[in-house]
Amino acid sequence: MSEVSRLRKFVSPEIIFGSGARKTVANYALTFGARKVLIVTDPGVQQAGWVSEVEQLLAEREIPSVVFANVSPNPRVEQVTQGAELYLEQGCNVIVAVGGGSPIDCAKGIGIVSTHGRHILEFEGVDRITIPIPPMICIPTTAGTSADVSQFAILSNQQERMKLSIISKSVVPDVALIDPDTTRTMDTFLTACTGVDALVHAIEAFVSTASGPLTDMHALDAVRMINTHLALLVEQPDDAHLREQVMLGSMKAGLAFSNAVLGAVHAMSHSLGGYLDLPHGLCNAMLLEHVIDYNYESAPDRFRSVAEAMGIDPRGLSQSQIKRRLMQQVITLKREVGLPHTLAEQGVDLTDIPYLSRNAIKDPCILTNPRKSNRRDVETVYEEAL
């Protein structure tokens, strides 16, 4: 391996972590010279009360704000366009995203469109952004997607029934106010979906071909923390310590995948979510053990470390035994958190697989998968997940 190919970069926002972190939002808005703030959120988060609190915190410091809440669970390109129009119309100069991955990804899209004045579809792919986006503060209300620390924005193109990935350092938020208290308003299904999403981020980042020492430590720590605490949190949603541990695990998984990228689970999951408009974490959950089965032989030492982080003692076991134990542990965890679903149960048919595979193989996440994949490989994994 040449010296240059061993170089690794690591980007992250400024992070404030802990109970009450969200309350520093006005300080940061002032630091960025906010004249008027666009708050990007969704109806559920608004209903939960987190948005009115942010509005009030800004108003106390005499910072006017306007709310854009027309964001669906898989945010759509039309919503980005509407949000950018509102941003410009209202003379905003700072964006605060409050919510899960959907409002945060939509906010990133709004930032891109409002500064470039071009359609969001023109920015699909890697490093297509040429002008810095407005200052962006994120307050995540789920413990999973980690859009608040990542250089990814994933949006849904409903016309094509496809998801598009935008990857750029320019969409790493300036500040992430990561406050476990905000996750109290998630139901158990969302807790499970976002938690499994975070676990997949950590595993895929660790076995990615772009992994390195800076991402490995976060990835393995995240696997341990989520494996240990997620099922307990689903059982005991009022436990503040469990909430904090899962939120911290999710953050570490985000720092890992933002810099090491992902793999086939996410490439296939993006295709699936774009096609059927399903929750992203659920798509990941249905595919995870099947992709581990496919990838294992290409990174056995890496998967052995993942197995250890998930509480499996690999001493005296053959590689195929470790693989089986790891797949079984994933299946057990999914069952414990209430996600034992298969693709067929969610309406996927054998005839959908060629279409899903065509899109998955074009997703940028497939490029860092440890095992090189062609369309037939991807079709086989989808078939196994039926």
Whole-angstrom distance, CA of residue 36 vs CA of residue 180: 27
Encode pLDDT of 221-239 as tens digits.
999 999 999 999 999 999 9
Encode pLDDT of 254-281 as tens digits.
999 999 999 999 999 999 999 999 999 9
Mean pLDDT, residues 126-134 taken together = 96
Mean pLDDT, residues 18-34 taken together = 98
Encode pLDDT of 308-339 as tens digits.
999 999 999 999 999 999 999 999 999 999 99
CA–CA distance from 205 to each of 17, 23, 178, 212, 261 (Å)? Answer: 22, 31, 21, 9, 6
Whole-angstrom distance, CA of residue 155 vs CA of residue 115: 18
Mean pLDDT, residues 198-208 taken together = 98
What pTM value is reported for the model? 0.96
For residue 6, the model assigns a pLDDT of 77
For residue 146, the model assigns a pLDDT of 96
Residue pair 29/63 in contact (Cβ under 8 Å)? The answer is yes
Shared fold status for 4-183 and 186-385: no
Sequence-distant (6+) residues with CB within 8 A of 178 are 15, 16, 17, 18, 21, 140, 148, 247, 251
Q: Does domain 186-385 have CATH number 1.20.1090.10?
A: yes
Whole-angstrom distance, CA of residue 345 vs CA of residue 172: 36
Where do the domains of the chain lie? 4-183, 186-385
Percent of the chain with pLDDT over 70: 99
For residue 5, the model assigns a pLDDT of 66
Mean pLDDT of the chain: 96
The pLDDT of residue 13 is above 80 = yes
Exposed (0-12), middle (13-18) or buried (19+): which is 90, by Cβ within 10 Å? middle
Encode pLDDT of 59-91 as tens digits.
999 999 999 999 999 999 999 999 999 999 999
Nearest to 309 by CA among 326, 331, 286, 327: 326
CA–CA–CA angle 93, 96, 102 (5° rounding): 125
The pLDDT of residue 306 is above 60 = yes
Residue with tokens 């306007």: 66
For residue 148, the model assigns a pLDDT of 98
The pLDDT of residue 346 is above 70 = yes
Residue pair 181/140 in contact (Cβ under 8 Å)? The answer is no
Mean pLDDT, residues 238-257 taken together = 98
Right CATH number for 4-183 from 3.30.1860.10, 3.40.50.1970, 3.30.9.30, 2.60.120.620?
A: 3.40.50.1970
Residue pair 117/170 in contact (Cβ under 8 Å)? The answer is no
